[in-house]
Each structure stands twice: as C-alpha cells, then as structure tokens.
C-alpha cells in the first residue's frame, strides 16, 4: 500500500530555518534539530520506519559526514537527504558513499523537498526488505555488530566442534547440503587469519575460489588504449565485454540484459554518455554503472550520478582503485540496501562469513551461481594479494 505524507515523519537538521519554513504548511510530522548532537539524540528516540531526514551540510558543531555516519550507526532505515548550498561532485559522491538517499542543492523550496520525500514513499523500506538485506529479524546497524558476531558463534561451541566435523563428513558422504558456517565451526578454537577463511570457503565450495564464475562487466570506451587496459585489469576477476561506441554497447546489453556492472565513458563517437545511460537503464535498471571521466568532465559525472549511476573514476586510474570500485559496485548490485551503510572493513572476517553464508544458501536455493566477485566484494583484502 502506498504511503502518504501524513504517514511520514521528518527530522530537519539545520542551523537556519529554510527547510523548516518550506515544509511548515504540510501534513508532515516535523521534528527540528539545530545541532548535530541534538539531531543524534532526537533520531535515537524516533520511530525510524516511514521516516525521512533532511541534513544541511553546513553545521557548526559537527561535520555533516560525522552526523550522517552516527545517524546510520543508530539505524539504517530512514532515508537521509543532504541539502547543500553549492553543487559539488565531491559532496554528491561522498554523500552517496556514506549512504545518503538523495542530494539536493539550494535554493530549496517546498516542491523540491516534497519531490524528494515522494521518491521514498514510492518505494518504502518494509521490514521484509530489511530482513532480505540484513538477514535478521531486527533492524541492523553498526551498534549491532557484536550481536551479528554472536549469530556466527551460535553454531560454534567449543565442546561440539568435533561433532560438527563428524556431521560434515557424514553430509558429504551422503551427498547432502551443508553450510558454510559448518566449515567455520569445524575450525573453532584456531587463531584464524585471512588465508584460513579462504580455506574455509574453498572447503565449502569443493574447489579453489579462482574457479568460480566471473561477473560480466560491460566496458564502454572508444579509446583503444583505455578499453584494452580495462580488459587486462579485469580479466582475473571479471568477464569484460567490450564496446567502442553506443551502438555496440546497446547491442551487448540487449544480448546479455542481466549484465550487472557497466563502465561508461562520457564521450563516445556516436552518442554522449548522458544520452546512452538512460537507454542502458531501460534494458537493465539494476546494473551498477561506474562513469569513466577526465578531471574536466566532473560536471557530467555528477549529472549521471544524480540520475542513478553508482560512482565515477577519473582516467588514468590505478588498477587496485578500479578493482575496489567494482567490488563496491558489486555489493550495491547484490545488496542494494546494505551497500554504503557500513564499510566492509568494519566487519570482522567472521561477520563477513555470516553474510557470505546467507548469500551462498540463497543462491543455492534459487539455483543461481556463486560468483568469484561475491568473495572479493566481502574480502577485498584478497585483491591486494593478487
């Protein structure tokens, strides 16, 4: 059932009153905070379902980055919208990376703010979506990381690790399904390093990680040097599909409409990237698009990010930067609500294994493949060893 404005609570965080004034004569339930500290206190006490937050970037007591991060540490449910006085790609991209739902630029008015709220109302976050995204019955946040760790430990009781080993052997002998966490439990009591987690994953898979299927990446780049360079960089972890112009790109996407990742140059011989982007989205709205830009093209990248592109990377780029960018894009594609709410490196290896276990079981139940990118996106440290 679609929500209305009267169903929505709004927290306004601003030192002035421009946002509050614009929304005063609406049916929205408004709450106002004049400092970052006051905002965090109010946010903690509010019902986070059906909630939107407008955060003015110019706050005195705290940076907007710290406010945004601390709000999401309490709950990831509300949509937080950044309000900026100036239109800058740095703020736009950083706000997206930190999990903001939208980024709007002054001067603001009632219609602009209502439009941002209505985008949320058209696709509200239900408890089921939260469960699907975070694999728990409760709303998840950074504050619940210890609880997530305990979920891993439920199966890993020292007195029973030999029983688990015996159960694993029995399941494998009978050809029955087993669980990634079973393999983790069988190693309980050991001091585990990253390489040991790789061994656990490979024991579950029954083969090396490097034999997993690679996700396709559509590389749309008219310059031969950059196109071939991207191909060489991606070959180990992805399946690059090359296109030198818009026509080739649309043909490739039409032939393989489930391509999850796209690298898009902003200038092509037959079409501009800004014109090609919506055509690609019409074929696959779920694809995560990373924009190739030169430094002087940042305004074009900002326009595409506003329209839904995942991020941008400047040419020339470092090999590891491109890998990390695509790993984060893969997380967005796989867990769109989870991505950006917390950095993967904030999770312990055991916590990441819990997420991977859920994903592996979900893929298996739906007869979908497990990708090498699933492993690298949750364990990006492995990329540094390649």
SS3 348: coil
Question: 104: how many CB neighbours lie within 10 A of its CB?
Answer: 16
Non-local (6+) Cβ contacts of 168 within 8 A are 178, 182, 183, 186
Cα distance from N-terminal residue to C-terminal residue, the chain: 48
For residue 296, the 8-state DSSP code is G
SS3 35: coil
SS3 31: strand
- Domain ranges for the chain, please list them: 5-125, 147-210, 213-385
Matching residue, tokens 């679609």:
2
Total H helices, total E strands in the chain: 17, 10
| Candidate CATH numbers 3.30.450.40, 3.90.79.10, 3.40.50.1820, 3.40.50.2300; the one for domain 213-385 | 3.40.50.2300
The hierarchical CATH code for the domain 5-125 is: 3.40.50.2300
Given this model, what pLDDT does residue 175 score?
Answer: 63
- How wide is the angle at C-alpha 370 spanned by C-alphas 364 and 372, nearest 5°? 165
The pTM of the full predicted model, rounded to 2 decimals, is 0.70
Residue-by-residue pLDDT tens, the chain, 386 positions: 455 677 788 999 999 999 999 998 888 889 999 999 999 999 999 887 788 999 999 999 999 999 998 888 787 778 899 999 887 777 887 887 777 888 888 888 899 899 888 877 766 655 555 555 555 444 455 566 666 666 666 655 555 556 556 666 666 666 666 677 777 777 766 788 889 889 989 988 889 998 999 999 999 999 999 899 999 989 888 999 999 999 999 999 999 999 999 999 988 999 999 999 999 999 998 899 999 887 666 778 888 887 888 888 888 888 888 888 888 888 877 876 565 566 777 778 887 888 888 888 888 888 888 999 989 888 888 877 65
Residue 383 in contact with residue 376, Cβ under 8 Å?
yes
Given this model, what pLDDT does residue 93 score?
Answer: 77
Strand pairing of 102-105 and 79-84? parallel
Given this model, what pLDDT does residue 307 score?
Answer: 83
d(Cα 290, Cα 310) in Å, to the nearest integer?
6
> For residue 82, what are the CA distances in angstroms to 79, 98, 167, 276, 324?
10, 11, 51, 27, 25
């Amino acid at each position: 059932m679609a929500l209305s404005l009267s169903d929505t609570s709004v927290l306004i965080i601003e030192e002035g009153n421009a946002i509050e004034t614009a929304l005063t004569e609406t049916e929205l339930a408004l709450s106002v905070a004049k400092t970052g500290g006051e905002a965090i206190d109010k946010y903690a006490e509010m019902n986070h379902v059906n909630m939107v937050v407008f955060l003015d970037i110019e706050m005195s007591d705290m940076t907007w980055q710290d406010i945004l991060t601390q709000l999401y540490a309490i709950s990831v449910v509300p949509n937080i919208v950044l309000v900026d006085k100036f239109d800058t790609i740095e703020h736009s991209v950083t706000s997206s990376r930190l999990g903001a739902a939208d980024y709007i630029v002054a001067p603001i008015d009632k219609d602009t703010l209502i439009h941002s709220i209505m985008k949320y109302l058209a696709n509200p976050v239900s408890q089921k979506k939260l469960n699907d995204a975070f694999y728990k019955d409760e709303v998840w946040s950074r504050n619940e990381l210890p609880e997530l760790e305990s979920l891993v430990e439920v199966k890993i009781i020292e007195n029973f690790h030999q029983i688990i080993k015996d159960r694993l052997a029995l399941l494998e002998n009978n050809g029955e399904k087993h669980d990634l966490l079973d393999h983790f439990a069988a190693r309980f009591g050991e001091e585990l390093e990253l390489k040991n987690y790789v061994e656990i994953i490979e024991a579950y898979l029954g083969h090396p990680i490097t034999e997993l299927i690679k996700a396709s990446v559509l590389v749309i780049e008219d310059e031969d040097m950059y196109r071939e360079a991207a191909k060489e960089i991606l070959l180990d972890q992805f399946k690059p599909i090359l296109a030198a112009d818009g026509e080739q790109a649309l043909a490739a996407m039409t032939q393989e409409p489930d391509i999850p990742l796209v690298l898009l140059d902003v200038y092509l011989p037959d079409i501009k990237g800004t014109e090609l982007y919506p055509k690609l989205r019409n074929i696959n709205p779920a694809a995560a698009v990373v924009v190739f830009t030169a430094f002087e093209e940042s305004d074009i990248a900002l326009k595409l990010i506003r329209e839904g592109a995942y991020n941008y990377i400047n040419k020339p780029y470092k090999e590891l930067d491109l890998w990390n960018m695509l790993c984060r894009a893969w997380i967005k594609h796989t867990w769109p609500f989870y991505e950006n709410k917390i950095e993967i490196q904030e999770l312990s290896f055991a916590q990441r294994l819990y997420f991977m276990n859920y994903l592996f079981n979900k893929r298996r139940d739906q007869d979908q493949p497990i990708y090498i990118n699933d492993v690298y996106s949750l364990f990006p440290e492995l990329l540094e060893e390649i």
